[in-house]
């Protein structure tokens, strides 16, 4: 389940990274044997890894302290970042990764290959715990075996910080003066910028041509239709609106600029995540956007 949580956080900070209200995904697993429970644990950890990969977020899975939750095995999913509150040690070859909290003594080289460990800070975005029977024994969470004997359920507990993933993604992917979003969670994929009121491009039907582009796009790629914003503040120059669009980080900005008066009309497309600017016909824009995953 994904729900809103409230925590009496003594030091809320870093915007959404540490706040008193946040969204979290929670999950518990109940199995009939330790082997089955470990299998569930691996399935969920694997799903978390592929989630972060699909988001395009750099992350490390580190062994973690079980803390107040308890249990025997625990991993954190950490996004390396300067402002992170956790300290991590990593083998550069990927053999070993741990939250410093878990180490009983200073560890300077990888237990597997002996390479010097590197230190980094991380933002915790997910946590998994193998709980065993710690809670099922207290709460008497039993099931009946085929021999009709009551047995304690083997449990696991899993969490993803939904609002924190958003904040961490913005933190690590963005550049100096503008936001960068993972394509899968960007609020909008596209921003359309029609010509300025009273400009030559407006007289030459630039706004109408842009609207026709949007209509064709909605037909060809209906999943993008609701993922688009029209910046119709046409009292502002295109340049001013483009600046705003760059700050907000729409992955694609489609502009009816000077070349919209050509035959066929050419649209200017800013691909923010790569920094490229393309000049494309209507068909070219649709072709480009057909590759977008949402």
Return residues touching Zn ion (CB under 5 A): 91, 93, 95, 110, 112-113, 115
DSSP state of 219: H
Q: d(Cα 247, Cα 94) in Å, to the nearest integer?
A: 35
Please state the closest distance from residue 110 (CB atom) to Zn ion, in A.
3
Please state the closest distance from residue 96 (CB atom) to Zn ion, in A.
6
Nearer to Zn ion, 95 or 240 (CB): 95
Q: d(Cα 260, Cα 280) in Å, to the nearest integer?
A: 10
Going along the chain, which residue ranges are E strands?
A: 2-6, 21-31, 60-63, 73-80, 86-90, 97-99, 118-132, 142-144, 150-152, 154-161, 190-193, 228-230, 252-255, 267-271, 276-280
Please state the closest distance from residue 11 (CB atom) to Zn ion, in A.
35
Nearer to Zn ion, 93 or 247 (CB): 93
Please state the closest distance from residue 174 (CB atom) to Zn ion, in A.
31
Q: Please tell me the total number of residues recorded for the chain in this structure.
A: 294
Element (H, E) at 63: strand 60-63
Nearer to Zn ion, 113 or 294 (CB): 113
Cβ pair 195, 238 in contact under 8 A: yes
DSSP state of 23: E
Please state the closest distance from residue 93 (CB atom) to Zn ion, in A.
4
Nearer to Zn ion, 33 or 115 (CB): 115
Nearer to Zn ion, 99 or 136 (CB): 99
Which residues, other chains included, contact 87 with Cβ-Cβ below 8 Å and sequence gap of 6+? 99, 100, 101, 119, 120, 121, 122
Nearer to Zn ion, 113 or 139 (CB): 113
Please state the closest distance from residue 86 (CB atom) to Zn ion, in A.
20
């Amino acid at each position: 389940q994904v729900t809103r949580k409230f925590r009496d956080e003594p030091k809320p900070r870093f915007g959404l990274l540490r706040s008193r209200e946040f969204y979290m995904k929670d999950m518990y697993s109940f199995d009939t044997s330790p082997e089955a429970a470990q299998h569930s644990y691996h399935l969920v950890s694997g799903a978390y890894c592929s989630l972060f990969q699909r988001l395009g977020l750099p992350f490390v899975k580190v062994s973690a302290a079980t803390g107040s939750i308890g249990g025997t095995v625990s991993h954190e999913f950490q996004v390396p970042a300067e402002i992170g509150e956790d300290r991590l040690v990593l083998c550069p070859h990927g053999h070993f990764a741990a939250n410093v909290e878990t180490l009983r003594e200073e560890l300077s080289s990888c237990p597997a290959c002996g390479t010097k460990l590197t230190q980094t800070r991380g933002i915790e975005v997910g946590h998994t715990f193998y709980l065993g029977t710690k809670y099922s024994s207290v709460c008497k969470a039993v099931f009946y075996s085929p021999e009709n004997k009551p047995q304690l359920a083997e449990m696991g507990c899993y969490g993803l910080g939904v609002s924190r993933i958003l904040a961490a993604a913005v933190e690590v992917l963005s550049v100096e003066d503008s936001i960068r979003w993972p394509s899968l969670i960007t609020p909008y994929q596209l921003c359309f910028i029609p010509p300025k009121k009273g400009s030559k491009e407006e007289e030459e039907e630039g706004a109408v041509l842009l609207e026709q582009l949007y209509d064709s796009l909605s037909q060809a790629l209906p999943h993008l239709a609701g993922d688009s914003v029209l910046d119709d503040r046409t009292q502002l120059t295109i340049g001013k609106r483009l600046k705003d669009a760059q700050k907000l980080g729409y992955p694609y900005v489609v502009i009816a600029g000077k070349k919209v008066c050509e035959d066929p009309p050419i649209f200017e497309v800013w691909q923010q995540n790569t920094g490229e600017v393309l000049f494309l016909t209507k068909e070219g824009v649709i072709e480009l956007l057909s590759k977008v995953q949402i």
